[in-house]
Structure 1
Amino acid sequence: MEFIVDSVEKTISIGTEIGKNANKGDIICLIGDLGTGKTHITKGIAKGLNVEDHITSPTFNIVNEYDGRIKLYHFDVYRVNDPDEIEAIGFDEYIFGEGVSIIEWANYIEELIPKNHLRIIIEKLPDMGVNFRKISIKYNSDRYNYVKEIKL
């Protein structure tokens, strides 16, 4: 699926729809350059999970945890230099646990990502305007079929 969005609000809206339908054990991988909107998608997913805390990117912590309808684990692996570093924080316990795991910069730890995950790729579209983004959503498991229902 692909969406062309022209505002932060629409980006958050896509995330919100994903969060409303997310289930325990979902793994959501976010890929995109700096400033494309990965944290905005995360804010929307958190909203859909009824997380009331302010969402920030865990760049220096690697993972932030939030309580909602389902526990949310928000990873940012941008500064991870070695996959062993992410494994040392109990990565497997998080992603195979009872929460929803969102991994920003998931392409940096590709070898640690389970086969069945939801992949969201965000790209800037500068030729269309400063706020335009293409959001591509891909998955290879029926558990994520709910994304077919997302409408802007």
Structure 2
Amino acid sequence: MTENEIILAGEGEMLAFGHRLAALVRIGDVIALEGGLGAGKTTLARGILEGLGLEEEAPSPSFAIVQPYDIPEVRLPVAHVDLYRLDRPEEAEELALDEYLMDSLLIVEWPDRLGEGAWPEALRFHIGIELDGARRLTARAPDAWTERWSQI
């Protein structure tokens, strides 16, 4: 597992970073986005989705919890998940999120709602807000991402 910090000055840089990630993702990957309200989790997810070819603006899945995207609107299937409204990890069981990993990329906001052990092989980003409004991404890349991470 490698850990890196990245500073992104604004929304445009966050979206561009998402585009770079999109070039490297594969079916079965999990990208876990952590951080407080307004940190930029959904913006990063939108950047990834745009990078995968989504032309319309991706809505936040806060109310739907799971927002799926399929080919041809994106180059590979994606499930964008927002677990903010879950109170207990057991509530996620009916969502069958692991089933998406068979044929999709999984982007998960608020993964901590499922507990510390959820998706140990996920590419994790903790997004913090700097005093100047920039975003500090602390990335934890698992071994499966070692080679790909060097391309970012």
Task: Output the TM-score relative to the length of structure 2.
Answer: 0.89
Among residues 74, 93, 99, which one is paired with 1:93 in the alignment?
A: 99
Using the TM superposition, give the Cα deviation of residue 141 of structure 1 relative to its aligned residue in structure 2, in angstroms: 2.2
Partner AA of 1:136 in structure 2: T
**Letter paired with 1:78:** Y
Partner of 1:83: 89
Residue number in structure 2 paired with 1:103: 108
State the SS of the aligned residue for 1:10. Answer: helix
> Are residues 113 and 107 of structure 1, via their aligned partners in 2, closer, same or farther at CA, if it must alter by over 3 Å?
same
Native 8 Å contact 2:5 2:137 kept in 1: yes
1:116 aligns with 2:118: no
Q: Secondary structure at the match of 2:91?
A: helix
Which stretches in structure 2 are left out of the alignment for 5+ residues? none
Q: Residues of 2 paired with 1:28 and 1:8: CA distance?
A: 19
Identity of aligned residues (%): 31
Residue of structure 1 equivalent to 2:35:
32
8 Å CA contact retained: 1:2, 1:134: yes
Mapped partners of 1:35, 1:18: distance in 2: 21
1:53 is displaced (CA, Å) by 3.3
Aligned to 1:49: 52
**TM-score normalized with structure 1 length:** 0.89
1:50 counterpart letter in structure 2: G
Instruction: Give the superposition deviation at 1:117.
Output: 0.9
3-state SS of the aligned residue for 1:14?
Answer: helix
What is the CA RMSD across the aligned residues, in angstroms?
1.5
**Displaced runs of 4 or more, over 6 A:** none
